[in-house]
Amino acid sequence: MSVVQNKKYRDRQKRKDAVISLFIGIFAFIWLVPILWTFWTSLRPYEDIIQEGVFSRPDTLNFANYVDAYRQMEIWGYLSNSFLVAIPAVILTLFFGSLLAFVVTRYSFRFNLYLLLLFTAGNLLPVQLVYAPLFKMYIWFGDLVGNRNILYDSYIGLILIHVALQVGFATFVMSSYMKTIPKEISESALVDGASVFRHYWSVILPLLRPPLAALSVLMTTWIYNEFFWAIVMIKSDSKRPITSALGRLQGEFVTDFNLLAAGAIMAALPTLIIFFILKRQFVSGLTLGSTKG
């Protein structure tokens, strides 16, 4: 009897699922429209649209706007600024995060939990609470050492604030991962009388490869996409990362929107490529932090 009921249930469910799938599919298409439209705009010459309207059948479709955007907007310079900031920031964040995670999970100091709490809370603070005094501190420190641009308007200053904010999240993710590693693994190192540094470097660090991979993908996109600190701490246009430069380019090329579309697509490409190639790492990085394994 249950077999018959089961079949009936399954049939009904199948029909329902088809409808749901169709519905979500239609929405998925709507979801893509803005991106497809931007891409479509980026492939057409400006004159075409002005003369024949946006919906006209295109006479020409090519990547000329990309070449122009690359030249006129100096996209490459901004892109390399982004990487000059993001890559060292991610490496430093992960390094510091792994150090802290190692200490708080392998040694039972009394302050461990409080340290972890403060770091995680610091990561969640509204950035607006931090920026004005930090800005002053950067200027002040610059004047103190005789070079105003040592932290303010420099990659170093931008990298350090990213590291300072993100290290809490990295520590949190890696320490929850390390709690799943049995303590016995550390024992052999301790029996051998290995130093704390060797214990970290040769025993723990190699084990942290999965969260390190996940976090590096996630944090690269985060820092690459970051906007607030880049507009606050970088004054020179030539040092701006791409996301904050887009704000200015948008004003300058406001009428030439095909060029702007090409620029926006190029700015989005690195994160899109990272996402499609390393989707698994990306997703696990995000979920490691939020659901604790």
Partner 1 sequence: MTTTAAGPRTRRRRAFSKGDRFTLAMFIGIPSFLHFVWVWIPALLTIGLSFTFWNGVQLSNIRWAGLANYETIFTASPQFYDALRNNVYWLLWFSFIATPLGVLLAYQIDRRIRGHKIYESVYYIPVVLSLAVIGIIWRFMLGPAGLVQVLLGRPGIEEALPIFGNYDINTYVILSIASWRHIGYIMLLYLAGLKAVDPTLREAAAIDGATEWQTFRKVVLPAMKPVNIIIIVITVIESLRAFDLIYIIYGTSTGWPILGMLVFTNIYGQAASMLGAAYAVILFLLSITPIVFYLRTVFQDDKP
| Residue with smaller CB distance to partner 1, 160 or 208 | 160
Using CA atoms, how far residue 156 sits from 70, 179, 239, in Å, is 26, 33, 11
Q: Which of residues 151-170 bind partner 1 (CB under 8 A)?
A: 160-161, 163-165, 167-168
Q: Which of residues 220-259 bind partner 1 (CB under 8 A)?
A: 221, 224-228, 231, 243-244, 246-247, 250, 255, 257
Among 7, 8, 11, 33, binds partner 1 (CB under 8 A): 33
> Does 17 participate in binding partner 1 (rule CB under 8 A)?
yes
DSSP 8-state secondary structure symbol assigned to residue 150: G
- Give the residue from 235, 228, 230 showing the smallest Cα distance to 85: 230
| Residue with smaller CB distance to partner 1, 13 or 80 | 13
> Does 286 participate in binding partner 1 (rule CB under 8 A)?
yes
Q: Which of residues 34-73 bind partner 1 (CB under 8 A)?
A: 34-35, 37-38, 41, 49, 53-55
> Does 277 participate in binding partner 1 (rule CB under 8 A)?
no
| Residue with smaller CB distance to partner 1, 144 or 196 | 196
Q: Token pair 């350090």 is at which residue?
A: 160
d(CA 117, CA 123): 10
Upper half-sphere CA count for residue 126 (Cβ side, 13 Å): 3
Q: Considering the complex, what minimum distance in angstroms separates the CB of residue 105 from partner 1?
A: 10
Amino acid at the residue 14: K
Q: Which of residues 80-99 bind partner 1 (CB under 8 A)?
A: 96-97, 99
> Does 145 participate in binding partner 1 (rule CB under 8 A)?
no
d(CA 49, CA 51): 6
Among 7, 8, 18, 61, binds partner 1 (CB under 8 A): 18
d(CA 189, CA 187): 5
| Residue with smaller CB distance to partner 1, 49 or 64 | 49
Structure tokens belonging to residue 69: 């955007």
| Residue with smaller CB distance to partner 1, 8 or 71 | 8
> Does 183 participate in binding partner 1 (rule CB under 8 A)?
yes
- Give the residue from 253, 224, 259 showing the smallest Cα distance to 63: 259
Stretch near partner 1 under the rule CB under 8 A, chosen from 57-65, 70-78, 178-186, 208-216 = 178-186
> Does 144 participate in binding partner 1 (rule CB under 8 A)?
no
Report the 10 Å Cβ neighbour count for 130.
Answer: 15
d(CA 76, CA 82): 10
Q: Token pair 């005789």 is at which residue?
A: 146
